[in-house]
Amino acid sequence: MSTLEHNPRVRTPWFRRQEASTLPRSTRVSPRQIYYDMLNIEEHPEVLPLAYDLVAKRLDVAAITNNLLALPASLSEATDSLSEVLIRLTASSSRFCRPWQATEDLTRRRVMHYFMQYLPTALVDGCWLQGGLRVSTSHTHEGGLLTGLYRHQVRAFVADPGRHFVGDYRRVYARVAAPLEELSSRSFVDRVEFRETSFLLPIFLLGIAQFTRTFCAEILGLNLAWQFMGLSAWGPDLIRDVCASYALSLPVDDLGTRDHLDKSRTMAREAAFQFLKDANESMLADAWPRLLRGIHAGVEIWAEWFERTSETSPGGPPDPRQEMIDMLLRKAPYACGYHADKYLGTKRIDELLAQNTFDGPALLADLAESPWVKPGDPDRSALLKRLITFGGPMLSVFSAVEVQIIKNWITSLPQDAQSFGSKVDGASGSQSLPIESRTKVEENLGSISTAADFRRRSEVVYQGCKIRELYHYLVNVEFHSDILPLAENFARDRLERSMAMLWKGARPIPSRRYDPSALEQWVHKKHREQLESYRRPDERPDVPKGAFIEATVQLAPLILVDGGWLQGVASPAVIHTTVGRMLFHVLVEELGEGKPREHHANVYRELLAAMGVDAPPVDSWDFARWSRLNDSSFEVPTLWLSISCFPRHFLPEILGLNLAVELAGVGGPYMEARDTLRRFRYPSLFVDLHNAADNVSAGHSAWAMNAIRRYMDEMAERDGPHNLDRTWHRVWAGVRATLPQIGRFRLLAHRLGRRLFGEDTTLVPRIFPA
């Protein structure tokens, strides 16, 4: 069950192979752009070759520049040596502890600086561990370790679904300034106050996660560095000190508790020790240096981020002016465009605020001399008295914290108009540095191909790809990410066929218009039918043993990737949403909560073994080409895997598919299967487990139904109650997607019929247009 035992030739990403060199990489990209692409990786897989290069280069440098410890002669020597490394890491943590602390005024400015520059990292907290939950890995020892670590890091516990560090960070920002944009949005990534260099750390964390099978040891090492340098406590410390500095109450009482942080360290250490143990002494020579270079790379990328952020951190005496400039820079993207032909001094206000021409000092100098500000007296300044109060054009534009910043600045202005001009022009003698302007360094990190070139190459390489091959490539998507355009086509085609029979085929939609009670009734009726279909062994004909084994074997491509339809929800863009967490809960239970023995695929493999069937590893060509399997046995699992590559794009369909899969078998079918298994003296754990875990009361079927309701409620909240039906139909296309689908002729007839009624036959816009 170790990924280390796999054939290394299979473990080569497509862009590292000879034939991929024809793909031109023509577009230069900045750290900011790479960060955006990595957050939207399913839409931008063309960034992956560069992401790999960046990660590999950093790991190589970490291995070379650090004097790696000598190779231990035995496992016990390795664990002793690692313990010493961890002691040193722990000792180094004091160097990074609360660097913003200074005098009260300076702390307030500094803590905000660190808070802002850490935002791109804070919002992807734990992301380096996400790849362990993929179908190729989750059933292995390493995958189990990563699954447990990830769940703990993102606090994805059933009892506590809404409480996590990322949510707390967002809440504090909302109080200081305004509600933050969505993580994967252009507006968040394009925030002008983020320095380009602040993206280098999260790019590395996001990048290494995309190559979990290639860099599994390094990820465990990186996680050791993160936990033992105290970085899981670093973000919570920032939150605490921002709140203290701006007189805000803490968002929660149990922020970064000692218990949680201690457990993060314990789990990180145990995972690394377990990894070395699994590698055993024969493979120690490979595992040890990789673990070490992961640790070193983690230390170095963090230290670099820390140094760069510290270099630009405010310093010197109190500087209300610089605080004001920083705040205006944060507000400028939203403010620009609202001021029509209004002028400050000789320039239009919108020109002063525009991203490319933003000039904080000039803006403040003009503002200070305008009728809106009475230097030294905020209470008599129209900016605060009129503009931001009820009836004023800037009502609700500034948070309480921002109003205080304005007050401090006005108070600091000399009342003597003569001395005032020199004061602003010459600043206050502060050593603080302004936040980097977007017009400055847009440092290019490398080149990527265009999306069109990426798609064209994919079409050529995978032309004529058969269903078994597609299954294999999708199980091993880390090495075949260039398959994504084909995966999208496959999912779309299957979903369109399902949609065509929404009303009249098997499993018809229970209501034309979205109606939560119709959904609930359908689930309970279906469950009741399944339960009542149960026949005791003496009431039904005996199933021949050979036929029973055969049916079990044909399900192997499906069950050996159990949970696979949900694997995409672990990504940082989805995991912190409410619906994402609901789906994640189901996913983690399918994966045995990180315990390989309880992983549903492994339970199934044990059943196959009891039947005398030795299935090849699911990620191998031997499995995809296994002559015992029918081509048709790959149809539904390939749909699961294709749809899972696009967890946001196909979310309505995934929600529907999730319901169909979780409900399937509950009640009579599982009970009859249990009877048959017992009759042949095979273990019945697999069906007992599912009949319990998938129950409609509080189990996976209930979670599946509730996730749909929650999603539709969120849509209703956003779009209003009259715009839900199309999405509801998409959900149901997902529910129907596991059924046998109509053929080509009926599909064409369906398309024609839709066009005659002037309807668009496409479900959703294409990610990879033909």
Nearer to Fe ion, 350 or 694 (CB): 694
Site for Fe ion in 582-601 (CB under 5 A): 590, 600
Question: b or e along 487-525 (b: 16 or more beta carbons within 10 Å of the residue's beta carbon)?
Answer: bbbbbbebbbbbbbbbeebebebbeeebbeeebbebbee
Nearer to Fe ion, 241 or 694 (CB): 694
**E runs forming strands in 4-115:** 27-29
Per-residue x/- mask for Fe ion, residues 370 to 409, rule CB under 5 A? Answer: ----------------------------------------
- Minimum Å distance from CB 559 to Fe ion? 7
Region of 89-97, 247-255, 692-700, 735-743 interacting with Fe ion (CB under 5 A):
692-700
Nearer to Fe ion, 369 or 598 (CB): 598
Q: Which residues pair with 432 in a beta bridge?
A: none
Nearer to Fe ion, 193 or 694 (CB): 694
- Minimum Å distance from CB 612 to Fe ion? 23
Nearer to Fe ion, 287 or 608 (CB): 608
For residues 545 and 731, the answer to whether their CB atoms sit within 8 Å is no
The runs of H, that is alpha helices, within 382-532 are 382, 400-412, 417-425, 451-461, 467-475, 484-500, 516-532
Distance from C-alpha of 57 to C-alpha of 37, rounded to nearest angstrom: 19
> Token pair of 202, please?
């999260």
- Minimum Å distance from CB 332 to Fe ion? 49
State the pairing for strand pair 347-348/343-344. Answer: antiparallel
Nearer to Fe ion, 34 or 657 (CB): 657
Report which of 251, 260, 31 is spatially closest to residue 125, judged by C-alpha positions.
260
Nearer to Fe ion, 90 or 695 (CB): 695
Nearer to Fe ion, 500 or 559 (CB): 559
Distance from C-alpha of 263 to C-alpha of 127, rounded to nearest angstrom: 18
- Residue 694 in the binding site for Fe ion (CB under 5 A): yes
For residues 620 and 10, the answer to whether their CB atoms sit within 8 Å is yes
Question: What are the distances in angstroms from CA 85 to CA 80, 91, 221, 260, 700?
Answer: 9, 10, 11, 22, 42
- Minimum Å distance from CB 163 to Fe ion? 24
Report which of 327, 462, 508 is spatially closest to residue 14, judged by C-alpha positions.
462
Distance from C-alpha of 170 to C-alpha of 178, rounded to nearest angstrom: 9
Please provide the DSSP assignment of 65-89 as one string: HS-PPPPPSSHHHHHHHHHHHHHHH
For residues 290 and 217, the answer to whether their CB atoms sit within 8 Å is yes
Distance from C-alpha of 671 to C-alpha of 661, rounded to nearest angstrom: 17
> Residue 343: which H helix or E strand, with range?
strand 343-344
Distance from C-alpha of 254 to C-alpha of 424, rounded to nearest angstrom: 43
Report which of 369, 368, 340 is spatially closest to residue 353, judged by C-alpha positions.
340
- Minimum Å distance from CB 600 to Fe ion? 4
Nearer to Fe ion, 35 or 565 (CB): 565
Nearer to Fe ion, 120 or 143 (CB): 143
> Token pair of 562, please?
């159990």
For Fe ion, the binding residue among 326, 482, 562, 672 (CB under 5 A) is 562
Question: Reduced to 3 states, what is the DSSP secondary structure of residue 347?
Answer: strand
> Token pair of 740, please?
């046998």
Site for Fe ion in 618-677 (CB under 5 A): 662
- Minimum Å distance from CB 593 to Fe ion? 12
- Residue 691 in the binding site for Fe ion (CB under 5 A): no
Distance from C-alpha of 314 to C-alpha of 95, rounded to nearest angstrom: 18
Region of 276-284, 544-552, 607-615, 695-703 interacting with Fe ion (CB under 5 A):
695-703
For Fe ion, the binding residue among 526, 700, 729, 736 (CB under 5 A) is 700
Region of 225-233, 573-581, 612-620, 686-694 interacting with Fe ion (CB under 5 A):
686-694
Region of 252-260, 393-401, 528-536, 689-697 interacting with Fe ion (CB under 5 A):
689-697
> Residue 448: which H helix or E strand, with range?
strand 446-448
- Minimum Å distance from CB 699 to Fe ion? 7
Nearer to Fe ion, 62 or 707 (CB): 707
Report which of 687, 306, 646 is spatially closest to residue 495, judged by C-alpha positions.
646
Nearer to Fe ion, 402 or 590 (CB): 590
- Minimum Å distance from CB 632 to Fe ion? 21
- Minimum Å distance from CB 432 to Fe ion? 55
- Minimum Å distance from CB 139 to Fe ion? 12
Nearer to Fe ion, 484 or 663 (CB): 663
Nearer to Fe ion, 323 or 672 (CB): 672
Q: What torsion, rounded to 10 degrees, do the Cα atoms 592, 596, 598, 599 define?
A: 60
Other CB atoms within 10 Å distance of the CB of residue 475: 26
- Minimum Å distance from CB 701 to Fe ion? 8
- Minimum Å distance from CB 666 to Fe ion? 9
Nearer to Fe ion, 402 or 662 (CB): 662
- Minimum Å distance from CB 713 to Fe ion? 23
- Minimum Å distance from CB 563 to Fe ion? 6
Site for Fe ion in 502-541 (CB under 5 A): none
Residues in the interface with Fe ion (CB under 5 A) total 6
- Minimum Å distance from CB 517 to Fe ion? 24
What residues make contact with Fe ion under the rule CB under 5 A?
Answer: 562, 590, 600, 662, 694, 700
